Amino acid sequence: MWSELLEVVFSPASQKAGDDAFGFRRVGNRIHLWVIDGATSLSDVPDKMITGLSDAAWFARSLAGQLHKLIIAECMNQGEFRRVVENLGKEYHTTGGRNAQPFEYPSAALTYAEFIKENNSVRVEIREYADCFYYIDYEEYGVRKIRTSKIFPGQIELREKLTEPGLLEKLRIRRSNQILHLTNNVLSVNPASVDTVHCSTHIIDRPCEFFLGTDGFARLWCEYKLASLSSTFRRVNMHGALAEFRRLRLWEKRNQGHDAAPKAIDDATLLRLRLDPTGGNCNGHSDQGVLRISHGTLLWQSAKRGTFPASLLDAEQRDLHHL
């Protein structure tokens, strides 16, 4: 087997339903991974679509569900994806969001990766909106090398506190410009945002690990600077992803008044995939693993005798808070 999903960790910021969504699918000789981070609502009424679930979470989960359908139907392309966003926009504007202001429209960061096995290599096609991230860790001629997202968490952050006078209005103006005038490549219910995608291709011809995550996890090396980017993923390789999530949450618990980011705590998601075009370093457990859920945090790990398929993880996440 040329690939193996090793770990998935999803840690919401609170006991409420989080704004992150993710998914994994294996279809034929292709693998599909995606993470979505719904942008925190700036509305006084953040749950216009479903009571108790933020519109950001509704948008992220709806996108994830539609991605799943496109992938299973083997028709994941920009034209079909645009149609998905158009339909979600129509649903929003004709139901809960019919009287919403532009700054209230739901938007999200999204990174989608498709892995295609080709002879002795794996081609990775990546589509990015805003600031989720991917990270490829491999060795070449004895030297450790990395490839990362062009737009990385921390590059477009706002460090001011939300309590600063006048900041909320500034954020609302900024959000409106993002959605109406496409001032960055955030994905939103505006179908034109689909065309702002950043695409890249990587050819993998040696064993590597591929990570896909949201900016809540990236706080380790961006906002909090608890470690460098490369050392964070070395620790994940050595100790597993959960250890780094624990370090993240422990720092936030000990520094509750920090001003390193507008929100004191954020949802965090990480997916970890091993690739080997030769098939020599992937155990291949038919994408079965062991699922553990504690205090809202979801941990899935590949296991030979695992009984929980990775393809059901996104549905399990949606059911975490019975929403």
Task: For 208-229, write each residue's pLDDT tens digit.
Answer: 999 999 999 999 999 999 999 9
Whether residue 266 is contained in a domain is answered as yes
pLDDT average, residue stretch 10-14: 94
Highest mean pLDDT among 7-11, 26-30, 202-206: 7-11
When divided into structural domains, the chain yields a total of 1
Beta bridge partners of 145: 138
Question: Is 83 in a helix, a strand, or coil?
Answer: helix
Determine contact, residues 271/10, Cβ cutoff 8 Å.
Answer: no
The pLDDT score that the predictor gives to residue 148 is: 73
pLDDT average, residue stretch 236-260: 93
Question: Is 204 in a helix, a strand, or coil?
Answer: strand
Which residues have a Cβ under 8 Å from the Cβ of 223 and sit 6 or more positions away?
A: 154, 157, 159, 260, 261
The pLDDT score that the predictor gives to residue 42 is: 95
- What's the pTM value of the predicted model, to 2 decimals? 0.93
Provide the edge-to-edge strand list for the sheet that holds 297-302: 143-148, 133-140, 208-213, 268-275, 3-11, 297-302, 288-294, 308-309
Whether residue 109 is contained in a domain is answered as yes
**Which has the closest alpha carbon to 74: 21, 28, 115?**
28
Instruction: Tell me the residue range of the domain where 90 lies.
Output: 3-318
Q: How far apart are CA 39 and CA 36, in angstroms?
A: 9
The 10s digit of each residue's pLDDT in 132-186 is: 999 998 876 555 566 676 554 544 444 445 556 788 899 999 999 999 999 999 9
Whether residue 323 is contained in a domain is answered as no
CATH number at 304 reads: 3.60.40.10
Whether residue 127 is contained in a domain is answered as yes
Which residues have a Cβ under 8 Å from the Cβ of 99 and sit 6 or more positions away?
A: none
The two structure tokens encoding residue 184: 């960055």
Whether residue 183 is contained in a domain is answered as yes
- What is the average pLDDT score of the chain? 90
Residue 323: which pLDDT band, with cuts at 50, 70 and 90?
very low
Whether residue 196 is contained in a domain is answered as yes
Residue 263: which pLDDT band, with cuts at 50, 70 and 90?
confident
pLDDT average, residue stretch 27-47: 95
Q: How far apart are CA 279 and CA 163, in angstroms?
A: 53
Whether residue 180 is contained in a domain is answered as yes
Q: Which residue has the tokens 């549905």?
A: 315
The 10s digit of each residue's pLDDT in 58-103 is: 999 999 999 999 999 999 999 999 999 999 999 999 999 999 999 9
The helix (run of H) or strand (run of E) holding residue 268 is strand 268-275
Whether residue 213 is contained in a domain is answered as yes
Of 159 and 230, the structure prediction assigns the larger pLDDT to 230
Of 1 and 83, the structure prediction assigns the larger pLDDT to 83
> Kind of pairing, strands 3-11 and 268-275?
antiparallel
Residue 322: which pLDDT band, with cuts at 50, 70 and 90?
very low
Question: Is 30 in a helix, a strand, or coil?
Answer: strand
